[in-house]
């Protein structure tokens, strides 16, 4: 967990599907997790008559092996859930999305930049701590770190055989996003509608 801030509920509401399962990561909380705000949001969601089917609290969601084992314990809840709303840093959300490839994952937090700190667990997922998490729109694959150009609006024309023009060893991040979105019955219509432009102010906080 890096420095995170909860997304506004207005940003999340349009994407909820039936049976929302909350997943919160309290790992590396010595940095910062907005616990108080999280409790408030949870209470607020309950008053909105949203069907919240449960809550899973974990440490170090970014630790793939550990998280995979923990998720086993909640297999039924996860199967029934229409939306997994994840409160974790970008690395945590990506780890979970990769472990549950057929689920709709929504990022509940934005992750902000902390100098000299990039998580405790070595992982294959990277979070640029951009402060405006897109993972809920992009099937849990980060367009900033999975695309060599960090493109926010779809693939460039440089993909050949699923690989990036920069290296034949690097997958095209956007092809992965779109294929996975299709597999889980998306893409989220909004990803087609909106023109995303990065706000670099949020990287300098």
Partner 1 sequence: MRFTELTKNGKFIVTSELGPPKGFHIEKALHEAEMVWPYVHAINVTDNQSSVMRLGGLAMCKVLKEKNIEPVFQVTCRDRNRLALQSDILSAALFGIDNLLLLTGDHTTLGDHKDAKPVFDLDSVSLSHMVRQLEAGKDLAGNPLEGEPPKFCKGAVVSPCAEPLDPQLFKMEKKIKAGIEFFQTQAVYEVEKFAKFMKSVKEFGVPVYVGIVVLKGPGMAKFMNENVAGINVPQDLIDELKKDKEKTKSGQTGIEIAARLIKELKPFCQGVHLMPLGWDDKVPQILKLSGVTAEK
| Contact footprint for partner 1 (CB under 8 A) | 148-160, 165-166, 174-175, 178-179, 182, 187, 192-193, 195-198, 200
For residue 53, CA distances in Å to 61, 103, 107, 182 come to 20, 15, 17, 25
In 10 A of CB 83, how many CB atoms?
23
For the bound state, the minimum distance from the C-beta of residue 153 to partner 1, rounded and expressed in Å, comes to 4
Q: Nearest distance from residue 156's CB to partner 1, in Å?
A: 4
Cβ nearer to partner 1, comparing 145 with 196: 196
In 3D, which of 39, 9, 183 has the Cα closest to residue 103? 183
**70/149 with CB nearer partner 1:** 149
Q: Which two tokens stand for residue 12?
A: 């999340």
Which residue lies nearer to partner 1 by CB, 14 or 157?
Answer: 157
Nearest-approach distance from CB 25 to partner 1, in angstroms: 30
Beta bridge partner(s), residue 54? 21
Q: Measured from the CB atom, is 97 or 178 closer to partner 1?
A: 178
- Pick the closest to residue 138 from 88, 179, 198 (CA basis): 179
Q: How far is the CB of 175 from partner 1 (least distance, A)?
A: 5
From the CB of residue 16, how many other CB atoms can be counted at a distance below 10 Å? 19
How far apart are the C-alpha atoms of 85 and 103, rounded to whole Å? Answer: 11
Residue closer to partner 1 (CB basis): 55 or 171:
171
What's the closest the beta carbon of residue 47 comes to partner 1, in angstroms?
36
Please provide the size of the chain in residues.
205
13 CB burial (10 A radius; 0-12, 13-18, 19+): exposed
């Amino acid at each position: 967990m890096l420095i995170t801030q909860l997304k506004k509920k207005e940003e999340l509401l349009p994407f909820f599907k039936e049976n929302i399962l909350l997943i919160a990561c309290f790992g590396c909380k010595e940095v910062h997790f907005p616990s108080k705000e999280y409790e408030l949001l949870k209470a607020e969601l309950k008053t909105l008559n949203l069907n919240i089917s449960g809550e899973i609290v974990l440490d170090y969601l970014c630790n793939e092996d550990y998280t995979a084992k923990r998720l086993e314990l909640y297999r039924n809840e996860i199967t029934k859930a229409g939306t997994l709303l994840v409160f974790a840093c970008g690395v945590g959300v990506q780890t979970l999305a990769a472990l549950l490839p057929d689920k709709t994952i929504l990022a509940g937090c934005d992750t902000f930049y902390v100098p000299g700190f990039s998580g405790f667990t070595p992982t294959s997922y990277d979070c640029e701590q951009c402060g405006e998490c897109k993972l809920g729109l992009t099937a849990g694959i980060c367009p900033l770190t999975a695309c060599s150009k960090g493109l926010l609006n779809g693939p460039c024309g440089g993909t050949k055989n699923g690989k990036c023009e920069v290296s034949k060893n690097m997958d095209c991040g956007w092809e992965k996003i779109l294929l996975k979105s299709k597999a889980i019955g998306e893409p989220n219509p909004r990803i087609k509608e909106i023109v995303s432009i990065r706000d670099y102010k949020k990287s300098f906080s």
